[in-house]
């Protein structure tokens, strides 16, 4: 049995509060010590696997005795919300987090959340354009990482200066006006009207009413090393440490940085109505990761990469009791469609890749899953992600649970299963390690697929999500004819494209994407067919 106590940060009160069990006061505690700790719940420590089993942050509850009114007196006017809380024993810290809830009566229930100076259930702390005041529509000011395309926010009332990101950026690669590239712009990092360091683009000519503007930029850079932040570990650290202000150090993610150094991401956070936890889930789903704020190393690749050299807790008949295993048809998928390369200006995915496990389809039927990966940019990495995830999803998985005496084993740690009642054996990552303080025991869980990985084939690459022809066809009038110029989303001319006017006459575009028709002024429908692109209809008004 352990004898735990709770330590609550003083905050503005100038005095640390220690909550101990009656008659079980540890020696040499600093600050105010109250013998009111009646019970502690088990510490929930789940691993969040976005796309498979997203989970809440590690948490627990403490039951406190308020019969004499000491806590009502202490916290009636200033409840300890959002203060740092630790659960300790003589052997060290069991739980490090923050107070997020308090329910008072004869007893008080104190709810705690682990792993950060602010709750990860808080919304993403992004500013809005309301900080500038004045006439502008209120929009969320984004943070951007890697290579990403976005729609800038108007900053000056003359429609020339536009806001890009709520921080300095590495640079701008392209500016499109109505999907046509322009070089008549100037990018710079500066300060906004509040004195905040931000990024702007200034156009040589004002944006016309109804004209669309899209900017492709390279986002945040490392404050010390100066390179573009674009790998999963770099972006995850930046989101947690600098945006969410969590106590996460650069070195905490060293292992994950090594695992994912080859993956290049690009994306932005521009929604302050989602939680920090949901934002991290979205980031890690794009690269196939799992995480827990209170886990050493914070994040790992999922499915786990083999590591025979890492220490592992042995689980056998001598160390584990109550072994239970279960499997379910829920969560079994035999075909996966990865959506990637999200365009934030157009608010759509540009590309997709579809994979299937043919042998698994024969065994279980066609079970399809759509996997959003908005931060991924390249077909190669989208295919690699799909291969990894489908190899996991297309096989039955056993979820094995057991109890053992408490040891310093965290969620995400390796265990070596060697128990005859377990249908899976060998090395696996813990997806949960729930600590019961009253019995000093751990309830541990692993989840693992069985059988050899299935053969996976790519059956479709970027079909419906190829770069599409935008409805920004340029129109000119010359010599009594109307000249249409067709370009792709990068502004390149679609030479050789077949363009059909109003379902009738058809022309082949020349080397610079132009065709001409003798037409009347008014509304016309163009059908554009170009090699490598799905057919696209667009309406133009002449």
Q: Where in the chain is the domain with CATH 2.60.40.1120?
A: 474-541
For residues 92 and 62, give the distance between their C-alpha atoms in angstroms, rounded to a whole number. 18
Q: How many CB atoms lie within 10 A of CB 286?
A: 30
Burial class (CB in 10 A: 0-12, 13-18, 19+), 278: middle
Contact 411, 46 (CB under 8 A): yes
3-state helix, strand, coil in the chain (%, to 5): 10, 40, 45
Q: Which helix (H) or strand (E) holds 281?
A: helix 276-285
CATH node for 474-541: 2.60.40.1120
For residues 374 and 135, give the distance between their C-alpha atoms in angstroms, rounded to a whole number. 32
Q: Token digits for 176?
A: 């499109």
pTM: 0.81
Pairing of strands 368-373, 335-343: parallel
Q: What is the pLDDT along the chain (542 residues), one digit of tens a residue?
A: 568 899 998 766 567 899 998 886 666 788 888 889 999 999 888 999 999 998 888 889 999 998 778 888 888 888 999 899 999 888 888 888 899 999 988 899 999 998 667 788 899 999 999 999 876 689 999 999 999 999 999 999 999 999 999 999 999 999 999 988 999 999 999 999 999 999 999 999 999 988 999 999 999 999 888 899 999 999 999 999 999 988 889 999 999 999 999 999 999 999 999 999 999 999 999 999 999 988 889 999 999 999 998 999 999 999 999 999 999 988 999 999 999 999 999 898 988 999 999 999 999 999 999 999 999 998 899 999 999 999 999 999 999 999 998 777 889 999 999 999 999 999 999 999 998 888 888 999 999 999 999 999 998 776 433 444 444 467 776 666 778 888 776 667 788 888 888 888 888 988 888 888 887 777 778 888 887 777 777 767 66
Q: Token digits for 157?
A: 């009332």
CA distance between the termini of the chain: 82
Burial class (CB in 10 A: 0-12, 13-18, 19+), 202: middle
Contact 534, 464 (CB under 8 A): yes
Q: What is the pLDDT of residue 179?
A: 85
Report the 3 state secondary structure along 387-417: HHHHHHHCCCEEEEEEEEECCCCCCCCEEEE
Burial class (CB in 10 A: 0-12, 13-18, 19+), 306: exposed
Q: What is the pLDDT of residue 468?
A: 43
Place of tokens 């996966």: 336
Q: What is the pLDDT of residue 322?
A: 95
CA 416 and chain centroid, separation: 30
SS3 of 539, please? strand
Q: What is the pLDDT of residue 356?
A: 96
Q: What is the pLDDT of residue 466?
A: 41
């Amino acid at each position: 049995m352990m004898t735990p106590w709770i330590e609550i940060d003083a905050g503005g009160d100038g005095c640390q509060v220690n909550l101990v069990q009656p008659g079980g006061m540890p020696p040499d505690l600093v600050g105010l010590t109250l013998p009111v700790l009646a019970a502690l719940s088990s510490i929930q420590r789940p691993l969040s696997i976005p796309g498979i089993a997203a989970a809440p942050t590690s948490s627990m509850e403490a039951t406190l005795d308020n019969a004499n009114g000491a806590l009502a007196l202490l916290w009636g006017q200033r409840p300890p919300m959002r203060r740092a809380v630790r659960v300790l024993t003589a052997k060290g810290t069991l739980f490090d987090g923050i107070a997020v809830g308090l329910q008072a009566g004869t007893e008080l229930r104190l709810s705690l959340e682990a792993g950060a100076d602010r709750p990860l259930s808080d919304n993403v702390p992004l500013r809005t354009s309301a900080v500038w005041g004045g006439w502008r529509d209120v929009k969320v000011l984004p943070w951007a990482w890697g290579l990403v395309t976005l729609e800038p926010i108007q900053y000056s009332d003359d429609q020339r200066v536009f806001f890009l990101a709520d921080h300095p950026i590495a640079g701008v690669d392209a500016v499109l006006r109505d999907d046509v590239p322009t070089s008549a712009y100037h990018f710079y990092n500066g300060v906004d009207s509040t004195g905040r360091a931000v990024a702007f683009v200034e156009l040589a000519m004002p944006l016309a009413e109804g004209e669309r503007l899209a900017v492709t930029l390279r986002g945040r850079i490392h404050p010390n090393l100066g390179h573009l932040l674009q790998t999963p570990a770099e972006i995850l650290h930046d989101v947690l440490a600098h945006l969410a202000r969590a106590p996460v150090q650069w070195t905490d993610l060293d292992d994950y940085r090594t695992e994912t150094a080859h993956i290049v991401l690009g994306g932005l956070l521009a929604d302050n109505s989602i939680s920090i936890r949901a934002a991290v889930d979205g980031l890690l789903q794009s690269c196939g990761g799992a995480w827990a704020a209170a886990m050493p190393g914070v994040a790992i690749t999922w499915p786990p990469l083999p590591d025979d050299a890492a220490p592992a807790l042995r689980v056998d008949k001598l160390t584990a009791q109550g072994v239970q295993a279960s499997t379910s048809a829920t969560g079994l998928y035999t075909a996966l469609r990865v959506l990637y390369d999200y365009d934030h200006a157009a608010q759509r995915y540009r590309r997709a890749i579809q994979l299937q496990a043919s042998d698994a389809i024969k065994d279980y039927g066609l079970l399809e899953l759509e996997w959003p990966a908005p931060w991924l940019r390249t077909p190669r990495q989208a295919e690699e992600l799909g291969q990894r995830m489908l190899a996991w999803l297309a096989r039955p998985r056993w979820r094995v649970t057991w109890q053992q005496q408490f040891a310093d084993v965290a969620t995400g740690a390796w265990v070596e299963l060697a128990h005859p009642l377990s249908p899976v054996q060998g090395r696996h990552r813990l997806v949960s390690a729930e600590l019961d303080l009253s019995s000093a025991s751990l309830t541990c869980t692993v989840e693992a697929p069985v059988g050899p990985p299935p053969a996976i084939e790519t059956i479709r690459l970027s079909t419906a999500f190829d770069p599409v022809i935008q409805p920004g066809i340029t129109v000119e009038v010359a010599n009594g004819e109307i000249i249409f110029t067709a370009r792709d989303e990068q502004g390149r001319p679609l030479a050789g494209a077949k363009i059909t006017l109003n379902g009738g006459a058809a022309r082949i575009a020349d080397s610079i994407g132009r065709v001409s028709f003798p037409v009347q002024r008014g509304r016309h429908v163009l059908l554009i067919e170009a090699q490598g692109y799905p057919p696209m209809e667009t309406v133009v008004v002449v």
